[in-house]
Amino acid sequence: GENVEQHPSTLSVQEGDSAVIKCTYSDSASNYFPWYKQELGKRPQLIIDIRSNVGEKKDQRIAVTLNKTAKHFSLHITETQPEDSAVYFCAASYSSNTGKLIFGQGTTLQVKP
């Protein structure tokens, strides 16, 4: 069945450094790849997403890249700040707002001041 693998499980960086989280997916039919951020004690919230017809998307300090051939996508956070500390989840689905959404295992990012 569909599977999304996410690495690393934990990531610690110094404030101001960059952070990269990587995901691979198994279902070649997947064409929508969102990233969610879950702060401690809060619900996950969408921070950025990318569709399969695009190779890269940026939103201020965060960016996502997609390699359809290799079936992997990555989240890049530049100039990290302590408030970036959270659990980040990647996900994959077939583009439909009623479709099955499969999440990766999550990455706990710690940004040290």
What residues make contact with another protein under the rule CB under 8 A? 1, 6, 9, 32, 34, 36, 42-46, 49, 89, 93, 95, 97-106
What SS3 class is residue 12?
strand
Q: Give the separation between CA 101 and CA 110, rounded to whole angstroms.
A: 26
Across 61-74, b (16+ Cβ under 10 Å) vs e yields ebbbbbebeebbbb
Nearer CB in complex with another protein: 41/113: 41
Least spacing, CB of residue 24 vs another protein, in Å: 14
Nearer CB in complex with another protein: 8/20: 8
Least spacing, CB of residue 33 vs another protein, in Å: 10
